[in-house]
Structure 1
Amino acid sequence: MSCPALIDFEASCLPEYGQSYPIEVAVARIDGSNRAWLIRPAEAWRYWDWSDEAEKLHGITQQMLDDEGLPPEQVLAEMAEFVAGCPVYADADLDQYWLEVLCQATGTRLPFPVHYLGEYLKEGGYTRPQVVAALEEAKRRLPKEHLAREDAKRLAMVVRLLVDGEVG
C-alpha cells in the first residue's frame, strides 16, 4: 500500500505577512517513498515578499533557490508523476494555495487536488486520541520541523501508523 500521499510546502513568507510564493515542496507516500524539490522563483515572483523570519525557520535562502532550485514547470511535472494514482492530502489549506500559485506561475492547470488530512482521518474513523498518539510517535521518530521533506514524511508516518493499527 503506497497511497495516500502527503504534501507540504515551505514558502517565502506566510501570506498574512505579504505576497508569498512556494520555495520548497515535498510529497511522501505512506510506504515511505518521498521526493522534495527546491523551487527556483518564477519571474512573476521576483518582487514578491521574502521573510527573514521564515528563512530562519526553514533554512532556505534566496541564493539556494537561485543555485539549486528547479524550474516551476519541472517541479510540477515531477510532482504529478510521483503522486500519480494517489489522493493527496495536507494538514493545512495553505498547501493547496501554494500549489495554485505554482500553477499560476507556469500557466498550467492544477495537476491534482489537495484534500484536507482531517477528512481522511474522519472517514477512516480514527479517534482524536489515536491521531494524537500517532502524531506524537511520528514526531518522536522524525523531530525536525519546518522542512518540507521532514514534514511530509511525518504526516505520511502518522497515516501509516494509524492504518497499521500501531497506535492507540
Structure 2
Amino acid sequence: MTCPALIDFEASCLPDYGQSYPIEVALARVDGSSRTWLIRPAESWRFWDWSPEAEALHGIAQDVIARDGLPPAQVLAEMQAFAGHCQVYADADLDAYWLEVLAHAAGMHPPFPVRYLGEYFAERGYTRPQVVSALDAARERLPVEHVARDDASRLALAVRLLLDGETAA
C-alpha cells in the first residue's frame, strides 16, 4: 500500500507576517517513500515577504533556494508523478494555498486537490484518541519539525500506524 500521500510546505514567511510564497515542498506516502523539492522563487514573487522568523524555523536561506531551487513548473510535474494516483492530504489549509500559489506562478492548475487530513480520519471512523495517539507515536519517531520532508513523513507515519492498528485508544 502506498496511498494516501501527505503534503507539507515551508514558506517564505509566517502567515501573520505578510504575503508568503512556497520555498520547499515534500510529499510522503504511507509506505515510507518521500520526495522533497526546493522551489526557486518565481519572478512574480519578487516583492513578496521573507521573514527571519520563518527562516529560523525551517533553516532555508534565500540564497539556497535561488541557487538550488527548481522552477515551479518542474516541481509541479515531479510532484504529480510522485503522487501518482494517491489522494493527497494535509494537516493545514495553508498547504492547499501554497500549492495554488506554486501552480499560479507556473501558469498551471494544481496537479491534484489537497484534502484535509481530519476528513480522512473521520471518513474511516478513527476516534480523536486514536488519532492523537498515532500522531504522538509518529512525533516520537520523527521529532524534527518545520522541515517539509519530516513533517510530511510524520503525518504519513501516523496514518500508517492507524491503518496497521498500532495505536492504543
TM-score by length of 2: 0.98
State the Cα deviation string for residues 98-136 of structure 1 (Å, max 9, x = none): 000001101101110000000000011111111111111
Equivalent position SS for 2:166: coil
Match of 1:62 in 2: 62
| Alignment RMSD | 0.6
Match of 2:37 in 1: 37
Establish whether residue 99 from structure 1 lines up as the match of residue 99 from structure 2.
yes
In 2, distance between residues paired with 1:111 and 1:80?
6
- The 4+ residue runs of structure 1 with deviation greater than 2 A are none
In 2, distance between residues paired with 1:145 and 1:82?
23
Q: Which amino acid aligns with 2:4?
A: P
Equivalences for residues 131-142 of structure 1 within 5 A: 131-142=131-142
Match of 1:84 in 2: 84
Alignment length (residue pairs): 168
Match of 2:150 in 1: 150
Q: Which amino acid aligns with 2:98?
A: W
Equivalent position SS for 1:76: helix
Unaligned segments of structure 2, at least 5 residues:
none
In 2, distance between residues paired with 1:57 and 1:64?
15
TM-fit CA distance, 1:66: 1.0
TM-score by length of 1: 0.99
Q: Which amino acid aligns with 1:159?
A: V
In 2, distance between residues paired with 1:100 and 1:140?
32
Q: Which amino acid aligns with 2:10?
A: E
Equivalent position SS for 1:98: helix
Moved more, 123-132 or 113-122: 123-132
Q: Which amino acid aligns with 2:93?
A: D
